[in-house]
Amino acid sequence: MIDVKKQFPIFEKKIKGKNLTYLDSANSSQKPKSVIDKMNDFYSYEFANVGRGIYQLASNASEKYENTRQELKKFINCKDDGEIVFTKNSTESLNLIAHCFGEKFINEGDEIISTELEHHANYVPWHFIRKNKKAVIKFIPVDDDGNLLIDKLSELITDKTKIIAVTHMSNVTGTIVDIKKIKEIADKHNIPVCVDGTQGAAHLKTDMQELGCDFYAFSAHKMYGPTGLGLLYVKYKWLEAFDPFIGGGGMIDFVSKDDVAYAKGVWKFEAGTMPTAEVVALKESINFINQIGKEKIYKYEDELKNFAIEKLRKNNAVEFVGFPKEQGSVFSFNIKNIHSHDVSTIFDQEGVAVRGGHHCCQILHDRLNVNSSVRVSFGVYNNKDDILVLDEAIKKCQKIFS
C-alpha cells in the first residue's frame, strides 16, 4: 500500500461536489506539494536566469539547474550528466532526434523502422524526415491483443535501415516493449535505437546501461513534475556528431560576422532561456519517486491495474482495446455502443477524469479496429476506491444509454 494522496493538494478539490477520481496520469500526472512549493520558492527567493549572470543569485540558480541534471543521471543511470538535454517536452525531444539524426544520416531511399504502437510524437517527426529525404518508414506490427511482434523486426531490417524508433510503453494498451530484445537485434546490424520513454519513465525501470538504447525521450510532467520541460538522454557519441537543433543564445562558443562556433556537449542543444524553475523543481519530483522506489511503484500500480481489469471484465458491455501480456499501468476500453466522448462526459459528472478519443495513436486504433477508446491510467495516488467509483460510473453510462 502506498498512501501519498495527502501530498497532492489537487485531491482537496471537489469536482461537481464529488471527490476527484483522477485516472488520467498517462496524460499528465498531478503534482505533489513538494514540487509546487519548490516552484514557488525558486520564483520567490532564488530566481535568476542560468548560465549567464556572474552575480551570486545567477550562480546559485545555475548550480541548482545543474543539480537536477546530476539527479537525472542517477535516475536513468547514464554514464555522464553531459548526456541529458533539457527540452520543452517529450515531443520536442523526439523532434530533436528525428531532425538532428535525420538531417545528417538519412538519405533518399533509407529506411526508418517504427511500430504500430507509436504515439504521434514518435511518428510525425519521422514522417517529416520521410518527406524531406524521400525516406521510407516501416512498422513492426502488433497482434490483436496489442503485443508488439518483435520477432518480425529482423525481417524488416535491410542494409538501408538507419534507425529504429520505438516506445517503451504504449499510452493506449499499456504494452511494455522489450527494449533489450530490440537492442540485441539492432546491434547485430549496428542500428541505433531511439526510445520514446514518455510513458515508461514514471512507471518502469529506466536504466540506460541495461536498456542500451541510443536515445531516450521523456517528460517531467508525467513523472509528478512541472509542465514545459522535456528530457532527452543522448548517448555521448551522438552529441558530438549532431548539428544543433535550435540556434540562439547559450548554444554558441563564439559568433562573428562570418561564422559561428557552437558550444560543446548538451549546451549545444539548450538555446535561449530554459524552463529554469521547472528544472529546479524536477529534482523534487525525482526525490518523490525515489522515496517510494520505482519497484514499489511498479508493483503497486500493477496490482491496481489488475484489480481494475478483473472488476471491469465482469461487465459484458466492457470491450478492452488490446490485452497485452506485458502491460504497464494503462489500459483502454469501450462500453458497447457508447462513444468514448459520451463516456468521458458522464464520468466527469461523477468526478472521474479519464481520456476519451484516439490518444494521439490513430495508427494503433486503426489496427485494433476501433475509432476511439476510453483510457484509464494510474499514478501512485490512486487506490482501489478509485476503481470502485470507476465501476459505478460505467454502470451509470449504461443506464443513461439503455
- Select 163 or 393, whichever has its Cβ closest to another protein: 393
Q: Is 139 exposed, middle or buried (0-12, 13-18, 19+ CB in 10 A)?
A: middle
* Helices (H), ranges, 195-315: 208-211, 236-241, 276-292, 294-313
- Select 183 or 358, whichever has its Cβ closest to another protein: 358
- Select 110 or 118, whichever has its Cβ closest to another protein: 118
Under the rule (CB under 8 A), what is the footprint of another protein?
338-342, 345-346, 349, 356-358, 362, 365, 371-372, 400-401
- Select 227 or 349, whichever has its Cβ closest to another protein: 349
Instruction: For cell 469501450, name the residue.
Output: 334
Instruction: Cell numbers for 310, please give them.
Output: 478483473
360 is catalytic: yes
CB contact at 8 A, 309 and 295: no
How many Cβ atoms sit within 10 Å of the Cβ of residue 245? Answer: 20
In the complex, the smallest distance separating the C-beta of residue 365 from another protein, rounded to whole angstroms, is 7
Nearby residues of 215 by Cβ (< 8 Å), 6 or more positions away: 97, 192, 193, 194, 195, 232, 233, 234, 235, 238
Identity of the residue numbered 194: C
- Give 74-79 contacts, CB < 8 A, sequence gap 24+: 75/206, 75/286, 75/289, 75/290, 76/206, 76/207, 76/208, 76/216, 76/233, 77/206, 77/207, 77/208, 77/209, 77/210, 78/208, 78/209, 78/233, 79/208, 79/209, 79/236
- Select 136 or 338, whichever has its Cβ closest to another protein: 338
In the complex, the smallest distance separating the C-beta of residue 127 from another protein, rounded to whole angstroms, is 15
In the complex, the smallest distance separating the C-beta of residue 402 from another protein, rounded to whole angstroms, is 9
- Select 134 or 341, whichever has its Cβ closest to another protein: 341
Catalytic one of 100, 194, 360, 397: 360
Residue 43 DSSP symbol: I
CB contact at 8 A, 22 and 379: yes
In the complex, the smallest distance separating the C-beta of residue 160 from another protein, rounded to whole angstroms, is 32
In the complex, the smallest distance separating the C-beta of residue 77 from another protein, rounded to whole angstroms, is 38
In the complex, the smallest distance separating the C-beta of residue 48 from another protein, rounded to whole angstroms, is 39
Torsion 89-94-100-103 (CA) sign: negative
Q: Catalytic residue numbers?
A: 360
